[in-house]
Amino acid sequence: MANLNNFNANNVEAATDFDPIPAGKYPAVIVDSEMKAAKNGNGSYLELKFEIIEGDYKNRLLWSRLSLENQNDTTVKIAKSQLAAICKAVGVMVPKDSTELHNLPLVIKVVVKKRNDTGEPANEIKAFSKRENAAAQNPPAAKGVAPWKR
């Protein structure tokens, strides 16, 4: 049994939409991470929980699983490559713990694919990249210098 601290559903809007978000690139942060044992008992994976931090899908959560310990060397190679992309995107090159990757902005590339078990559409994170600072992309105008001379 769990204490719900006098929760009242009359005071909270019910969640109704768990449809996948559209494919695209989204600014996000890792908000949680955990090493978990593989279901088959052969290895483990790092489960990362991402939260979108801007736009229409702000606060939506997505997960990525990196099979860092697996009997299949190719699977491990792919997982390590993805972890390297995350590390480079957030600027933490030699993390000792996955929590060092938390709350650092990056861009995730999300796709929509069919689930193997149900055939229903689901999101999958396919790539990780550095989040460019908006100010760096659009530098403020230099005072007294014409735009075409900058």
Q: Is residue 45 part of a domain?
A: yes
Q: Is residue 3 part of a domain?
A: no
Name the pLDDT band for 17 (thresholds 50, 70, 90): low
Q: What SS3 state is found at 9? A: helix
Q: Is residue 43 part of a domain?
A: yes
pLDDT greater at residue 108 or residue 15: 108
Q: Is residue 115 part of a domain?
A: yes
CATH number at residue 65: 2.40.50
Q: Is residue 93 part of a domain?
A: yes
Q: Is residue 145 part of a domain?
A: no
pLDDT digits (tens, 9 = 90+) for 87-142: 999 999 999 999 999 999 999 999 999 999 999 999 999 999 999 864 444 344 44
Q: Is residue 138 part of a domain?
A: no
pLDDT greater at residue 137 or residue 62: 62
Work out the percent of the chain whose per-residue pLDDT is above 90.
72
Fill in the amino acid letter for 135.
A
Q: Is residue 2 part of a domain?
A: no
Rounded Cα–Cα distance for residues 96 and 71 (Å): 23
Dihedral angle computed from the Cα positions of residues 108, 111, 112 and 113, in that order, rounded to the nearest 10 degrees? -120
Rounded Cα–Cα distance for residues 54 and 145 (Å): 33
pLDDT of residue 42: 87
Quick one: how far is CA 31 from the chain centroid? Answer: 9
Contacts of 113 (CB under 8 A, 6+ apart): 121, 122, 124
Q: How far is CA 36 from CA 67, 94, 96, 115, in A?
A: 9, 21, 17, 21
This prediction has a pTM of 0.79
Counting the structural domains of the chain, the total is: 1
Domain of 107, in residue numbers: 18-132
Rounded Cα–Cα distance for residues 60 and 99 (Å): 20
